[in-house]
Amino acid sequence: MAKTKLLFITHEMSPFLELTKIAEITRKLPQAMQDKGYEIRILMPRFGNINERRNRLHEVIRLSGMNIIIDDNDNPLIIKVASIPAARMQVYFLDNEDYFQRKHVFRDNGNKFFDDNDERTIFFCKGALETVKKLGWSPDVVHCHGWMTALVPAYLKTIYKDDPTFKNSKVVYSVYEEDQFSEKLHTEFARKAVMNGMESAHTQAYQSADNDALHQGAISYSDAVVFGSENLNDEVLKFVKKANKPVLDFSATADFENYYNLYQEITNDELVSMV
């Protein structure tokens, strides 16, 4: 019997980048699922403060060379990879000179939110899915962590829904209290996020371009939701309840067995809430 394939998409992961507790979850959860017999792939941005030499990143030539089009501009995508020997896992890093090769992650040294965080997000989400296509690897479950992955569910359920790589993929979105920004992304974020094969209505949920909008947009396109923190925004909680999605409550996340059960349920189309 073929192994279940599980893709993790995140903006941070220990030991490469540790900003919030997401980094710890995205380090431990994939290993726990690999130990359960799942086949794992992990993708994240190659932010400029990730030390390539120390972490032994190297370019994957066969995967590099694609261009991601945003607002009619071609943006080269470079793919690098590093291994976590203790876990026998590989992590793929998406790189671009303009978007990621800077010393800070989401804010400059004056704590100002980067003006192009909208395009960086679009680039990462579209680039991640194009990279998986190029790998020739079809995930059964795509688990997204953090607001920077919020467009992935929308893309999977629209332009990629009939793609052979993703047509059977289920998507899970984890919401975290620590994963917040108070600013708004560019006012044109929802328009820029529309890719060939999509309509403007497909990104309407993201229109206000604030933190809640990203979470709500991702949740609306996801097959299941994980509450990664105990205290979440009331508006997001109300939205999840109204959306009537299967939920893994925060109280259940300490036991990785519950993630395994959730993945099994949605891939078997047994959509039973685990609140």
CATH number of residue 83's parent domain:
3.40.50.2000
Encode pLDDT of 81-116 as tens digits: 999 878 888 999 999 999 999 989 999 999 999 999
In one-letter notation, the amino acid at residue 101 is Q
Rg (CA), the chain: 17
Confidence of residue 1 (pLDDT cuts 50, 70, 90): low
Residue 133 has pLDDT above 80, yes or no: yes
Give the pTM.
Answer: 0.94
Q: In residues, how long is the chain?
A: 275
In a domain, 272, yes or no: no
Q: Do 53 and 17 contact (CB within 8 A), yes or no? A: no
Rounded Cα distance between 176 and 231, Å, is 8
Query: Is 150 domain-assigned?
Result: yes
- Given this model, what pLDDT does residue 273 score? 42
**Secondary structure (3-state) at 122:** helix
The CA dihedral of 107, 113, 119, 123, to the nearest 10 degrees, is 30
Tell whether 11 is covered by a domain: yes
- On whether residue 33 sits in a domain, the answer given is yes
Domains held by the chain: number: 1
Mean pLDDT, residues 134-146 taken together:
96
Per-residue pLDDT, averaged over 157-170, amounts to 95
Which structural domain, as residue segments, surrounds residue 149?
5-267
Q: How many CB atoms lie within 10 A of CB 266?
A: 21
Residue 226 lies in a domain: yes
Computed over every residue of the chain, the mean pLDDT equals 93
